[in-house]
Amino acid sequence: MTKRKSTRSTGVRCSTARGRTAKTRATDAMADPSRTKVAEPAPARATKQALIIGLLQRQEGATLADLVAATGWLPHTTRAALTRLRQAGHVLHKTNGETGAVYRIATPARAVRSRKAA
């Protein structure tokens, strides 16, 4: 059994909406700058690393359970993030509290990052 070829037109056009090509629209936009949209810079989003630093800078510090709950990471991933903060130059203090280990950033000094990507 062979397939029949369609007798209908595919309807594909080389121009865009309203009969203008992309090149025509580009030249129109250059001629009238008020018609172009100016992209606004996206607001800085909070990262999980910034969230961890914020929790560690609190006076009471943060337990591993606090950090896991805030980030949604597993405990071993959260401990690895703490290691990365140490490598980046943050001074972390670990004390044993009633609910387990409590982590704090000693001084919010400017971290010196290594050349390796995080």
Confidence label for 95 from pLDDT (cuts 50, 70 and 90): very high
Instruction: Indicate the Cα dihedral angle 63, 57, 91, 85, nearest 10°.
Output: 70
Each residue's pLDDT tens digit, 37-86: 666 776 677 899 999 999 999 999 999 999 999 999 999 999 999 999 99
DSSP 89: T
Please report, for the chain, the start and end positions of each structural domain, with discontinuous segments joined by +. Answer: 48-105
* pTM (global) more than 0.95: no
Top CATH class, 48-105: mainly alpha
